[in-house]
Structure 1
Amino acid sequence: MASKLASDFGEQFLTCQVCMLHFRDPRVLPCLHTFCRECLQEWATKQQPLECPTCRTQVSLPDKGVDGLRTNFYVNNLLDFAAVKKEAGPGVPCQVCEGGRDQTKLWCTDCAMLLCESCTAIHRKVPVTSQHELVPQEGTEGREGPDRPQRKRHCHKHKSQELVFYCESCNVLVCTACTVIDHRPGKDHNPVEISTVAQRGRETLKGLLEDIVPRMKEMQASSKEVEKKMSNLNPAKEAATDQAKAYFHQLADLLQKRESEILRQIDDQCRADGKALQTQKEAIEFELAGLTSAQTFCQQAVERGSDVHILEVGNQVQTRVETLLAKQQDLESDWSEFQFVENTTVKDFNDEVWTFGGLKTDVDVSKCGVVVKPAVQGFHCSASLTTVNRAGHACVTHSRAVTTNMKDPSGTGVPTKLQMGSEGRWEISYVPKVTGNHSLEVKVNSQEVAGSPFDVTVQDKGTPVLTIGRKGGGVGDLDGPLDVAVDTDGTIVVVEQGNRRVQMFHADTGGCLGGFPVSGEGPYGLGLDSEGAILVTSLGEDCAIRRYSKQGALLNSVQPDCLCPSGAAVLQDGRMVVSDSAQGSCLLLEHDGSLIRDIGSGHLQFPSSIAVDESRGVIYVTDRFAHKIFAFDLEGNLTLSFGRQGQGDGEFQSPAGVALDPAGNVIVGNAGDGRVQVFAPDGSFVRNVATVTGKSARGVAVTPEGLCVAVACYKGHCVELYRYM
């Protein structure tokens, strides 16, 4: 058996791929790769989020961190068995008394120790160890898989009791004592012998193995097909190059410039196709590696794992394999060989020299599409082009194949910049200097894309690029939106006072993505925490801070010593800053609502919204009665205040909403006159963004990368987005 172990696995299977030593307390990641506990802990301190060192799969650690990961008892057993083989040789001392070098030794599967004859006799007499299983070295040679002696697993609560049952209700291994005390059979518990449950788990894993094999064969065949096409790249290039040279040599010096141009196109196409095929091959091989790893792990568990091991990792293996099998992978390559095409005969070249020759690719211009995004005067604006092949799939082509031309309303050219993205996607960027209807012409391979030239309406800076909602109670309607927030994915979250609900919208289209009703007499403010949960403050008799999932489930409710919670902001560590407009202060709270400190008492009159710049440790608070913005540090010290009542630049009329852009600038919405203004971190006025519909700007938020500012228009019953950067 020892020789079989060495031939099947070798040292590599028992070696951690981080420290390159034998596993010490091996732990299994969700992707089924195993590492030392200490290695994973060190890896986790260097990387957030944690990625598997082998397959780069992102790992969400349990609440207990690395200590909460499953132990790979199968690897532990193999290490024990390797130790038996190593330590059972002649001249090796007993691991208890360090004597008996020439005696026959036995291996205690409970203690994982090698014992001489004397220590074995004592071991059998001591009550605590008398029931331990002692196996001679020769007794392990013919026993494989689950029948091979393995280290016993004992109950963490009843240390002397072996785990022999599995409570199906609790999904946990238990001992005999547990079935009497904590897992007594009945309506709440159903302990079953582990062999019975393990057999079902083993059959499930066998079924997964059967599903893996055909998928692996399919991916292997696809990888070979891509590799075959990659091998044809250079021959295709050489053939096209030879054809082009033979053709252009007949046209002598007049065609030299055109010849060079065509050769560059061929090289560009080859590089573009080569990069695309290489990327596809790497993606396929990456998925294949994942399947291979899962197959090995699954097969080891089925063939050699104990019942306990099957139960420990069965669900994890099933989740990993099903995830791999469900993942969609494009196994078909869309690449087709390109070739040089003679568009014009030699006798006709004189007037059409710049049209001679060309590179035939798989791009179907009739299927290419252009999406024009909202344009605002003076800002970087863009449109997107997707090049598509005859099969209808996005495909790569060389940059010289795409040309763009833009003109403003007077016919003056507007410079455009073309940038190639991934998978046949291109960005056409420009900065319009005037408002009005512009014309954008887009060509691929000298042919206009369907719909070209495109009409592009350029708006002035104060016009919203998108308006979301209208007054009403239906899906997508809004009634008195008071606050707005934007999550990391760009989803716009709005709280309505009239409909007492939260709704979520797509930032590009304004389409409603869902919503849910909220508790409380008067929902008022919004906050988003680092886990994506939505915090809603409410006023009135049942005032509280309620935390909801995006699906509308109430996760928890906090009722601090607060008369009128209005604005709320959540720090990365879960602490909250809440404004109390009735008491004229802000509260720094723990995540459970317990008070850390009071902030702003004696300075604030009617605090409303809050924005926190954690990088600088500054809390910005709008004060609607004082018509100012106050800034405090996290210790509660006043560091800055700016503004006064008025309608000029830098002045406020009941400032309500506040947000921060990526540079730390402060964006403020005025409830009194609808102006949205920008201030530097030191409080100096920067510029006006817009004046909103209905003249009542309440909550404000910045979309990812600071591209737009979203403003909750309380009296306009909508949310308006304005270009910002």
Structure 2
Amino acid sequence: MASKIQGSADFDEQFLTCPVCMLHFRDPRVLPCLHTFCRECLQEWATKQQPLECPTCRTQVSLPDQGVDGLRTNFYVNNLLDFAAVKEGVGPGVPCQVCEGTKKGARSWCVQCAVLLCESCTNTHRRFPAMKGHQIVTQENLEASEGVPSSFQRKAFCPKHEDQVLTFYCEPCQTLVCVACTVVNHSRGDKHNPVEIGSVAERKKRDLQKLLAKVEPREKDVRDTLNEVDRELSQLPTSADAAIEQATGYFDQLMALLQDRKKEVVQQIDSNRQEAGKCLETQKEAIEFELTGLTSASEFCKQALKHGSDVHVIEVEGQARQRVEELMTTPSDLTARPSQVVFSEGTAVAEFRDDVARAGCVHVKVKVDASKCSVEIKPAVEGFSNVSLLSTVDKNGHLCSVLKDDVTDTLTNPSGQAVPTQLQEKGRGLWEISYTPEVTGNHRLEVKVNGGSVAGSPFDVRVQSRVTPVLTIGREGDEEGELNLPRDVAVDMDGNIAVVEWGNKRVQIFDARTGQSLRCFPVDGWSPWGIDMDSNGQFVLTFGNYPTGNQAIRVYSREGKLIKTLKPDCLWNPRGVAVLQDGRMVVADIRQHSCLLLQPDGSLIRDIGKEQLRDPRFIAVDESLDLLFVTDCEAHRVFVFDLEGQLKFMFGEQGRNEGKLYYPSGITVDPAGNIIVVNWFNRRLLQVFGPDGTYLRTVATVTGGDPRGIALTPDNHIAVTCDRGCCVELYRYK
């Protein structure tokens, strides 16, 4: 850093020095990137390269039509240069620049004329009418001030009226004007609105303060990361040397067999060190470039706010904002980079003879902050494979990979016995810890990364019975999060649960993991019943209320806006609905005793199950097999048709034991083609049947009253609407 100018605490020599010629600025001009250079230096630089790049940050610059002369002058740098010259020039033995020292030495400085004056010339200068408004700074004022006086600024004169000072700002034109301009060229009207520059400057100062508030936090982060990269660079040789020493010690035990491999590994370590060094050097260079831009922008805003006049602030604010926005939209990557080269033994010496080809393992480690890593515990069910999700992050909270050997997880059941776990990386910094608990109750999961405990570890893992709901959503009521006679359920494109409420006449969407209500929207019409999603993520609902004439099919957007209403003549009293990928719909109609295959516009394609179905309620479609599954409540059966209307088979026998159907209602099909059905009455069994209707197993006995519609979630839970229970219950499926 250059030495301070004598008597000034506000700026230093480097700030007044052109980075190209390394001399004091001569006619300083500001580039769009906010770096300042001499006008002559920029002109010479522009002749050497096209397109022009900033000599400091290498940002490409588009010059105005006037070339370098069209760039803005850095007024506050000129003011500081003036002040530096005055500080050094005002004093004994320095001649007056008007009378050339024929009277006495210089004692003051005219800011507007930029000349040193002796006392006599100062008095004469003040008597001229044209110079009465000039700012005179005396030697006493300069000696008394610790820094640059705020009044030490050249006045800006109008380019059209050279004797007039710029005192107004025409906002529609975004131009500084003088008093004469407000009369001649910018008189107040529809196209012009000149206002005093003071109020405009205050607003621009506030804007610069906002820009400064944006820059400074990022500047701090970049500076901190740069320091961290420097530390990592300094530590890189140490870690690499340690790795080499460890590798050498390991291979000394296998010298007879592994001499060649030893040299190969050492070379690999050195190669990794060079690659890691290049990676860090590249990041450092990018960060230094950004820091240069951020620092100059920050310094530019600070100096403009501190030393700039109202005119200058108005002129530079827009340029400063443009530069800051450029910097903030193209930030450099501050995430952690490979910083250490380490060596691991792999297999023990006694077991290593047959694995010579795979001997040694070299990798570059990123430092992981175990205290900032997290684990998401999901509800667990006995006898099912369950997972918890681990995220490994660095000190900045960014996801980063670690070696599998650096992660340890231990799960114990309520008796303290270990439960086997399996760790698998699913993506950069994302891990699945899977386990199959065999007993219910509170289990404990301890997770460590690099020997340090993850925040919150050990975790409580509550393992429920397979017949107990993993999650119960809602309770009776009409507030958000409450339910009133929920009839059907569907899963939207985000994996959330959408429930249609007959009592509240609305659709409510819940988070399938937490049960939290996300949003809801009202629906038009009486008796909303069935719900499904089309391929565009829109909600398709059926409304029955025969014989009032209110039966309809309505389509709503994801946000709950009514898109269209369909009232086909064939529709009498609809219940469940299934939407095909091409937009066709299948609707169960209990009044028609059939299922209706409809075009997207509601026109009838065909009746399915006429004179075969008695009380069709809910529908599921397996398009891969071109099959339609319908629950018939009164027949206590499931009917299976193809979409041409042909009955393929039916299954079910009335009864209250497992494997029997007793007023079946909701139905869905899993990816393997198995059929899931829930009974409405009696034991309310939730059961699974094979693709041919053979009974496979019972998932649970639904605890809520009157189970209706069901849906299978992406994470393998079955959502069941409980009409009388006014809730939705989720059961683990597999």
Shorter-chain TM-score: what band? 0.5 to 0.7
Q: Tell me the distance in 2 between the aligned counterparts of 1:629 and 1:643.
A: 6
Q: Tell me the distance in 1 between the aligned counterparts of 2:272 and 2:405.
A: 13
C-alpha change, 1:599 and 1:236, in structure 2 (3 Å) is farther
Match of 2:402 in 1: 397
1:697 aligns with 2:707: yes
**Identity score, percent:** 47
C-alpha change, 1:327 and 1:684, in structure 2 (3 Å) is farther
Does the CA contact (< 8 Å) of 2:233 and 2:339 recur in 1? no
1:723 aligns with 2:732: yes
Q: Tell me the distance in 1 between the aligned counterparts of 2:230 and 2:454.
A: 32
Does the CA contact (< 8 Å) of 2:339 and 2:365 recur in 1? no
C-alpha change, 1:328 and 1:609, in structure 2 (3 Å) is farther
Does the CA contact (< 8 Å) of 2:423 and 2:433 recur in 1? yes
Q: Tell me the distance in 1 between the aligned counterparts of 2:242 and 2:534.
A: 58
Does the CA contact (< 8 Å) of 1:696 and 1:715 recur in 2? yes
Give 2:509's aligned amino acid: M
Does the CA contact (< 8 Å) of 1:385 and 1:428 recur in 2? yes
Match of 2:634 among 619, 625, 641: 625
Match of 1:549 in 2: 557
Moved over 3 A (4+): 225-240, 245-253, 324-330, 358-361
C-alpha change, 1:717 and 1:400, in structure 2 (3 Å) is same
Match of 1:54 in 2: none
Aligned partner of residue 244 in structure 1, secondary structure? helix
Match of 1:450 among 449, 455, 468: 455
Q: Tell me the distance in 2 between the aligned counterparts of 1:379 and 1:328.
A: 47
Q: Tell me the distance in 1 between the aligned counterparts of 2:332 and 2:563.
A: 39
1:665 aligns with 2:674: yes
Aligned partner of residue 383 in structure 2, secondary structure? coil
C-alpha change, 1:484 and 1:448, in structure 2 (3 Å) is same
Q: Tell me the distance in 2 between the aligned counterparts of 1:328 and 1:635.
A: 58
Match of 1:643 in 2: 652
Q: Tell me the distance in 2 between the aligned counterparts of 1:326 and 1:630.
A: 62
Q: Tell me the distance in 2 between the aligned counterparts of 1:460 and 1:569.
A: 32
C-alpha change, 1:623 and 1:334, in structure 2 (3 Å) is same
> Alpha-carbon deviations, 1:606-631, whole Å to 9, x = none?
11111111111110011111111111
Match of 1:122 in 2: none
Q: Tell me the distance in 1 between the aligned counterparts of 2:336 and 2:557.
A: 42
Alignment of 1:236-251 (within 5 A): 238-245=240-247
Q: Tell me the distance in 2 between the aligned counterparts of 1:492 and 1:624.
A: 25
Alignment of 1:265-414 (within 5 A): 331-335=333-337, 337-338=339-340, 361-414=366-419
Q: Tell me the distance in 1 between the aligned counterparts of 2:577 and 2:384.
A: 32
Task: Please report how far the alpha carbon of residue 488 of structure 1 lies from its aligned counterpart in structure 2 after TM superposition.
Answer: 3.2
C-alpha change, 1:325 and 1:671, in structure 2 (3 Å) is farther
Q: Tell me the distance in 2 between the aligned counterparts of 1:230 and 1:420.
A: 26
Match of 1:502 in 2: 507
Task: Please report how far the alpha carbon of residue 243 of structure 1 lies from its aligned counterpart in structure 2 after TM superposition.
Answer: 4.0
Match of 1:681 among 680, 691, 699: 691
Does the CA contact (< 8 Å) of 2:704 and 2:729 recur in 1? no
Match of 2:444 in 1: 439
C-alpha change, 1:526 and 1:270, in structure 2 (3 Å) is farther
Alignment of 1:194-205 (within 5 A): none
Q: Tell me the distance in 2 between the aligned counterparts of 1:229 and 1:565.
A: 70
Aligned partner of residue 477 in structure 1, secondary structure? coil
Give 2:641's aligned amino acid: F
What stretches of structure 2 of length at least 5 have no aligned partner?
1-218, 287-325, 344-362
C-alpha change, 1:599 and 1:252, in structure 2 (3 Å) is closer
Q: Tell me the distance in 1 between the aligned counterparts of 2:332 and 2:468.
A: 43
C-alpha change, 1:236 and 1:696, in structure 2 (3 Å) is farther
Does the CA contact (< 8 Å) of 1:237 and 1:270 recur in 2? no
C-alpha change, 1:248 and 1:599, in structure 2 (3 Å) is closer
What stretches of structure 1 of length at least 5 have no aligned partner?
1-217, 285-323, 342-357
> Alpha-carbon deviations, 1:294-321, whole Å to 9, x = none?
xxxxxxxxxxxxxxxxxxxxxxxxxxxx
> Alpha-carbon deviations, 1:462-482, whole Å to 9, x = none?
111111111111111111110
> Alpha-carbon deviations, 1:122-162, whole Å to 9, x = none?
xxxxxxxxxxxxxxxxxxxxxxxxxxxxxxxxxxxxxxxxx
Aligned partner of residue 693 in structure 1, secondary structure? coil
Aligned partner of residue 695 in structure 1, secondary structure? coil
Q: Tell me the distance in 1 between the aligned counterparts of 2:330 and 2:470.
A: 36
Aligned partner of residue 704 in structure 1, secondary structure? coil
Task: Please report how far the alpha carbon of residue 451 of structure 1 lies from its aligned counterpart in structure 2 after TM superposition.
Answer: 2.5
